Amino acid sequence: MKVITIAVSVLRENDRIADENRIVFSDNHVFVVNIMGSPGAGKTSLLLKTIEALRQEVRIGVIEGDIATSHDAELIHATGVPVVQINTQGACHLDAMMIKTALTHFDLAEIDLLFIENVGNLVCPAGFRLGESARVVVSSVPEGDDKPKKYPGMFRVADVVLLNKIDLLDVFGFNISIFKGDMLQTNHSAMIEIFEVSCRTGEGLSGWVDWLKKVMLAANPLLTADIGSEPLTGSGR
């Protein structure tokens, strides 16, 4: 009997394709946001609101990941933004190969900002890099304030956390300091941003939109002419 030392990541193929995607995005100056979160957290609502806020300044594209149906893609399509639906046919997450395939349906030269809405799931998508520039986790008040503690994997990989449905805080007896405290215990990044928003009332969304503009400009200074060098603040979007 012999032991053969391998020492390779089982997800190496995914990582390899994610790196390829990243190069394609970078060559085309596309900023890519991977949106993750539970079913019903408000990922699609956030997308619709963000498209509304940014579409005059930035050319947007969307990849929708769902286990079944094209329901979300139809909602996005109605805004006029180019959208590709990926049906994972039961798979619980998007992987880099699915994104690579979906990209063939876009003209990336015509897109500055690509949103990837992952499958609604607070577990598996955290483990699969897609080649994205930023990872956003949408959590919502009705899910409870214990989510960062119970799903540390997802909250650990986040660059930004949006706490949605903030208008329902009192109804659900949600304790924001518990949520934030556990969040900061889990995610040690000094850059982590938490925004409290309501996609229904629009509360707090300007902070998120301004952050997005800021990081997009940092990644691609060429955009300055389109969206202005100063982020907008509190303009009631």
Interface contacts to another protein, rule CB under 8 A:
1-13, 91-93, 121, 123-124, 126-127, 152-153, 156-157
| Least gap, CB of 113 to another protein (angstroms) | 27
For 160, the 3-state DSSP assignment is strand
| Least gap, CB of 128 to another protein (angstroms) | 9
Joined tokens for residue 166: 């903030």
Using CA atoms, how far apart are residues 122 and 89, in angstroms rounded to an integer?
Answer: 18
Q: For another protein, give the closer residue by CB, 41 or 126.
A: 126
| Least gap, CB of 131 to another protein (angstroms) | 16
Using CA atoms, how far apart are residues 184 and 155, in angstroms rounded to an integer?
Answer: 9
Q: For another protein, give the closer residue by CB, 28 or 88.
A: 88
Please state, in angstroms and as integers, the Cα–Cα distance from residue 141 to each residue in 58, 103, 179, 187, following that order: 30, 34, 10, 19
Q: For another protein, give the closer residue by CB, 18 or 223.
A: 18
| Least gap, CB of 12 to another protein (angstroms) | 8
Q: For another protein, give the closer residue by CB, 96 or 227.
A: 96
Looking from the CA of 107 toward its CB, the CA atoms found within 13 Å total 4
